[in-house]
Amino acid sequence: MKVAPLRSWLLALTLLLMPLGLLAAPASVVELRIDGPIGPASADYVVRGLARAVEDGAQLVVLSIDTPGGLDTSMRDIIKAILASPIPVASYVAPSGARAASAGTYILYASHIAAMAPGTNLGAATPVQIGGMPGSPSPSPDKPAKAGKDDKAEPGQSAKEPAGDDAAPAPGDTLSRKQINDASAYIRGLAQLRGRNVEWAERAVREAVSLSAAEALELKVVDYLAADMADLLRQLDGKTFSAAGVEVTLHTEGALLISREPDWRAKLLAVITNPSVALLLMMIGVYGLFLEFSNPGTGVGGVLGGICLILALYALQLLPVNYAGVALILLGIAFIAAEAFVPSFGVLGIGGVVAFTFGAVILIDTEVPGFGIPLPLIVTLALTSGLVIFAILSMALRARRRTLVGGDSELIGSIAQVNAVQPSKPNSGWVLLQGENWQVLSQAPLKPGQQVQVVARKGLLLDVVAVDGTPPQGD
């Protein structure tokens, strides 16, 4: 029996079929979702998701986007992670009806692959005004940039650059102009890096223009128009892209699609970085510590207040806060707390409510959708603080009108029985009152066993009169 040659043939056949098996099972594709405003939680979720996809050996990461925009710092964190990714990243605006506005447009331009589903749109990438009171005018261009598809460049200028100062908007202040110019240069660099429409990218920033999916494909703003994820993966199969300087060929046809949802950390971060929740946590933290300091020993207020305050401070350092607003909120809470100890007749409390209201209004230093504090919440918290002040004042007034039950006030009017009388002074004697022996003095002579009523106190002596009002008779 020739068993050894048979084994050799089987081993050789296995080695030949192994590459075919590997080809039959392409690397996985990871899907991450950006749904809603882009903030610290979204950035943490995407950055860690990209890193995990690289560790797991995925061949492609697809960002499914539906966002109205978000914070500039969070957007830049996501873009940095995309630019440094060693595997291609595809931004896919989906499903139909979704949008990639403002910060979403920048992420779309930064991605190796840009795709949209029918019925979606992108654009309106002008930076919103930062700072100021709500309702203040935001920068709006008076003259369009000369960078459109049909615009003609001025002599001596490139058609890809704005034609001088006339092409730029005329914002109301230098800060707004700096923001728009910085954003314009940023998205222009991303467009040049990915070979996409530079002119329209700059118009999206300077003129806040938007495009539908079909128009974006026609103007080469995006690379693909896909009905769903399966359609997108079919179109990407066999395509080659450069990621971190390395050419990567995709084999997405039949690849395993792994959809990764935000974990507990991202969900917790999304909750506490909500400006409304951060404000509530700060109030609970300060009031909890105030309760612990005023009534030490229980520990509940200190533990709960400390945890809430630390979470609030962590959330606020991730958000674009106005520190004047934080100072006003803390000052307002301090005034409201001081009202319980200082007899200011409501002045400190009312001032605290006013300071708290103004601080909450200007707390978040941006007008990005999804990162404002609703005015009804501010009014509710202010009214709640006002009710606390009213309750404190009511208790103080009731305490002032209440009859005293200790000290001299309790002695005056008390009735006692004479225990002994001094032989040399018949109008002076001793009584037992409130567990103590007191020397009493009367205008009329006293006798043992007589009932007397205290009418005044003079140091250690009590002035008394007979209970029946008639002078007591001696023996």
Q: What is the pLDDT of residues 224-243, one digit of tens each?
A: 999 999 999 999 999 999 99
Which of 93-107, 162-176, 304-318, 397-411 is least confident? 162-176
What are 333-352's pLDDT values in tens digits? 888 777 767 766 678 878 88
31 in the same domain as 155: yes
138 in the same domain as 260: yes
Q: Mean of the pLDDT values across residues 171-181?
A: 76
Structure tokens at 254: 């039949």
What are 269-286's pLDDT values in tens digits? 989 989 999 999 988 888
Q: Mean of the pLDDT values across residues 20-43?
A: 82
**Domain that residue 449 falls in:** 408-466
Of residues 12, 8, 207, the one with CA closest to residue 124: 207
Residue 361 Ramachandran class (φ > 0 left, ψ -120 to 50 alpha, else beta): alpha
The per-residue pLDDT of the chain, averaged, comes to 81
379 in the same domain as 316: yes
CA dist., res. 411 & res. 460, Å (int): 12
- Do 126 and 94 form a contact (C-beta atoms < 8 A)? no
454 in the same domain as 348: no
pLDDT band, residue 385 (cuts 50/70/90): confident
391 in the same domain as 413: no
For residue 384, give the amino acid letter: T
Give the end of a domain, one of 237, 265, 293. Answer: 265
51 in the same domain as 157: yes
For residue 65, give every residue at least 6 positions away whose Cβ sits within 8 Å of its Cβ, in sequence order, or none.
34, 91, 92, 93, 94, 98, 100, 104, 107, 108
214 in the same domain as 285: no
CA dist., res. 334 & res. 321, Å (int): 20
Q: Full-prediction pTM beyond 0.95? A: no
159 in the same domain as 37: yes
pLDDT at residue 138, as a whole number: 44
CA dist., res. 95 & res. 231, Å (int): 12
Structure tokens at 144: 């369009």
pLDDT at residue 368, as a whole number: 73
What is the SS3 assignment for 91?
strand
348 in the same domain as 255: no
Query: Is the predicted pLDDT of residue 64 greater than 90, yes or no?
Result: yes
Which of 9-13, 22-26, 61-65, 167-171 is least confident? 167-171
91 is a domain residue: yes
Residue of 429 and 141 predicted with greater confidence: 429
152 in the same domain as 109: yes
Give the end of a domain, one of 248, 265, 282. Answer: 265
pLDDT band, residue 162 (cuts 50/70/90): very low
362 in the same domain as 279: yes
Query: Is the predicted pLDDT of residue 165 greater than 60, yes or no?
Result: no
Q: Which CATH number belongs to the domain containing residue 430 in this structure? A: 2.40.50.140
Q: Number of structural domains, the chain?
A: 3
Q: Which CATH number belongs to the domain containing residue 145 in this structure? A: 3.90.226.10
Give the end of a domain, one of 265, 295, 317. Answer: 265
Residue of 182 and 149 predicted with greater confidence: 182
